[in-house]
Amino acid sequence: MSGARIDLVATPHGRCVLVSAADDLAPVESVLHPDEVAAALTMSPVRRRNFILGRHALHLALRDPDLAHGPVLTDERGAPILPVGRTGSISHKGDVAAAIGGPAERGFLGIDIERAAAPRLDIAPRILTERERRSLPANAEERGRAVTLRFAVKEAIYKAVHPVLRRYVGFTEVELDAAGDTFTVSSALPLVIDVAWTEHQGLWLATARAIPR
């Protein structure tokens, strides 16, 4: 038992696991693989906390609490190295880490969580195309929340496409069109991408699935 608080959120891409813990991370660390604990020891305190909570969330998302698949270490671009045949992704915000994972045969998954509030700086020009910016709500508060949501969705996409592309993907390489409660995704990337989002306890929780064309 890690002693952490665990929330499960159902999404079209499968179950997301959200983990938060009190200050003492030792019980959470005790359920990680020794190689993950060793990796965490090299990190700054904030980074270490994020890493530990994220790894715990990912093992739960992969339904591998006993670590039969071994450690999930980090590749040269910062992405988690998943066991063969699995996909999975991690995000953190404040005291919460979120993860999604499962078999890779139905595509690669990405996740992102962000505060469901306007960003401190106007990031819209950096992360949205002109066409996307034109479709934002006029009201300033609603516009800000809509920008943060699109940011979360695009970061989830970035994590989902990483196992195939293994390169930086710019925010304007992908366009989102609002379609009811979700977005349709267009891009020149060699992947079919679908996304989903929900609001959970003040956070945007965005997930993406990428399937090679």
Ligand X SMILES: CC(C)(COP(=O)(O)OP(=O)(O)OC[C@H]1O[C@@H](n2cnc3c(N)ncnc32)[C@H](O)[C@@H]1OP(=O)(O)O)[C@@H](O)C(=O)NCCC(=O)NCCS
As a whole number of angstroms, the distance between CA 35 and CA 70 comes to 9
- Kindly identify the residues of this chain, within the stretch 9-48, that bind ligand X according to CB under 6 A: none
Q: Is 77 in the site for ligand X (CB under 6 A)?
A: yes
Residue 150 binding ligand X, by CB under 6 A = no
How many CA atoms lie less than 13 Å away from 171 in the CB half-sphere?
18
Is 56 a binding residue for ligand X by CB under 6 A? The answer is: no
Based on DSSP, count helices (H) and strands (E) in the chain, helices before strands: 6, 9
Residue 162 contacts ligand X per CB under 6 A: yes
Q: Are 19 and 4 in contact (CB under 8 A)?
A: yes
Q: Which of 171, 183, 197, 204 binds ligand X (CB under 6 A)?
A: 171
Least distance from ligand X to the Cβ atom of residue 197, Å = 14
Binding ligand X (rule: CB under 6 A), the pick from 4, 11, 29, 80 is: 80
CB atoms within 10 A of CB 94: 11
The alpha carbon dihedral of 107, 112, 118, 123 has a sign of negative
Q: Is 120 in the site for ligand X (CB under 6 A)?
A: no
Interacting residue with ligand X among 45, 78, 85, 180 (CB under 6 A): 78
Report residue 160: phi and psi, to 5°. Answer: -70, -35
Say whether residue 112 binds ligand X (CB under 6 A).
yes
154 binds ligand X, rule: CB under 6 A: yes
Contact 195, 186 (CB under 8 A): no
Q: Which residues bind ligand X (CB under 6 A)?
A: 50-51, 54, 74, 77-80, 89-92, 112, 154-155, 157-159, 162, 169, 171, 174
